[in-house]
Amino acid sequence: MTFTVRSAQTRAAILTAARQRFAADGYDRTTIRAIAADAQIDPSMVIRYFGSKAELYGAVSDVDLEVPDLSGEADAGTRYARNMIDRFEKGDNLAEAILMRAAPTDPSAAARMQAIFASQIVPSLRAAYPDDPDIEQRAALVLSQTVGMVYVRYILKIEPLASMDRDEVADALARSIRRHLTAPLRPAGRRE
Amino acid sequence: MTFTVRSAQTRAAILTAARQRFAADGYDRTTIRAIAADAQIDPSMVIRYFGSKAELYGAVSDVDLEVPDLSGEADAGTRYARNMIDRFEKGDNLAEAILMRAAPTDPSAAARMQAIFASQIVPSLRAAYPDDPDIEQRAALVLSQTVGMVYVRYILKIEPLASMDRDEVADALARSIRRHLTAPLRPAGRRE
DNA sequence: CTCCTTTGTCAACGCTTGTTGGCAAACAAC
DNA sequence: GTTGTTTGCCAACAAGCGTTGACAAAGGAG
């Protein structure tokens, strides 16, 4: 029932190896055997500790974006952008990268991203712009720019975006997100 | 040596089935057997016609974005955005979707996207802004917004972006891209 | 010490995968 | 007609996968 010291260590080793493998190769290409090899244990242990590959994946891809409280923030977009870039630059929070890679082919990962959007991103931005009736649409646009930046810079590694330094990238992301949050959504003279 | 009528038909059937499967499920989850079942032929035929799964994938993911000639275009961003949205809304040009899904886990797909960026997107935008020294960085930002929009609307299908009509989406994308192409890249008062 | 639980290895199962070779049917050339 | 080539199916292979069960070593409790 309780965890002893040894079991906790190998448990952690499995999690670490799994995070790196899933983040680097995606769900399908990652094998239990490879994770076990990285953690220097037997493949069967992975199953004993986590039940199945899918459950291990679930344990490793729980994402908390830790979006800062943006209530009453004058420049919410900038803070949001910086928080995102900081998370990916740190490199040890691999859950987001795992999810980004898995979502295109794994419906459950896609659902998880949808949940993150609805429960973390939208409320946070709504707190900063409580009176904006289009905040959900704006939040989706913010997400699209965020996801695109991650995809191009951190996954595809396309130049010159890949080798710009983090401040430049954070600024560029912040500018675009700020515009999504504040620019008029419809061309003047049109009504919905 | 020459293609007879029958062989050309099954060849086309395989390509069609492969495009749909790859676009829907990604490279790894797509099986030769499933493609063969869709095309109503034997799995071995797929190999005979295309050599291997990887070669079939290659034959199916050649992307030509058909970016219109933007030389001297006053509103290049808008035309670019509309072209992109139109391509994805049509739904029969599946190569882009295939690539988007595969790139996060398949290095060769990622390289292909890099090539598309360098040989199709950058030159096209450069033609519209021949004097902009930062056009490559701007093009990468444009790509990030484009990719993000595709990812969120067409792959994740996150609301409200997923159910907005194509004109609204095209407008939103165009606005963001226009800003990436024309807004100052660095905050005033800083120099590179 | 003995007993029992935990932590680990080993070998193997059942399944799916891409791929191959053999052989029948359809077709074309003569 | 006969011959040769193309197009197709069938059965099977080898490899890799997630997963399971049996069993040994280690550690803690009495």
Tell if A43 CB is < 7 Å from nucleic strand C: yes
Does residue A43 approach strand D to less than 7 Å at its CB? Answer: yes
**A30 neighbors A102 (Cβ within 8 angstroms):** no
Average pLDDT (A169-178) is: 95
CB atoms within 10 A of CB B176: 28
Among A123, A112, A132, A114, which Cα is nearest to A63's? A112
- 3-state secondary structure at position B187: coil
pLDDT digits 0-9 by tens, A69-94: 888 778 889 999 999 999 998 877 78
Instruction: Say whether the CB atom of B7 is under 7 angstroms from strand C.
Output: no
Nearest to B132, CA basis, from B81, B92, B174, B76:
B76
Q: What is the pLDDT of residue A90?
A: 85
> What letter represents residue B12's amino acid?
A
Model confidence over A178-192: pLDDT tens digits?
999 998 887 765 444
Does residue B66 come out as left (phi exceeding 0), alpha (psi in the -120 to 50 range) or beta? Answer: left
Which residues in chain A have their CB less than 8 angstroms from residue B141's CB? 161, 172, 176
Q: What is the pLDDT of residue A66?
A: 84
Q: Is A84 on the interface with B (CB under 8 A)?
A: no
**pLDDT tens per residue across span B118-160:** 999 999 999 999 999 999 999 999 999 999 999 999 999 999 9
DSSP A25-80: HHHHH--HHHHHHHHTS-HHHHHHHHSSHHHHHHHH------PPP-TT-TTHHHHH
Using CB atoms, pick whichever of B29, B137, B143 lies closest to residue A105.
B29
Nucleotide nearest to A56 (CA to C1'): D18
Task: Give the residue, B75 or A5, on which the prediction is more confident.
Answer: B75
Instruction: Give the pLDDT of residue B108.
Output: 86
Instruction: List, for residues B3-49, the tens digit of each pLDDT value.
Output: 555 677 889 999 999 999 999 888 999 999 999 999 999 999 999 99
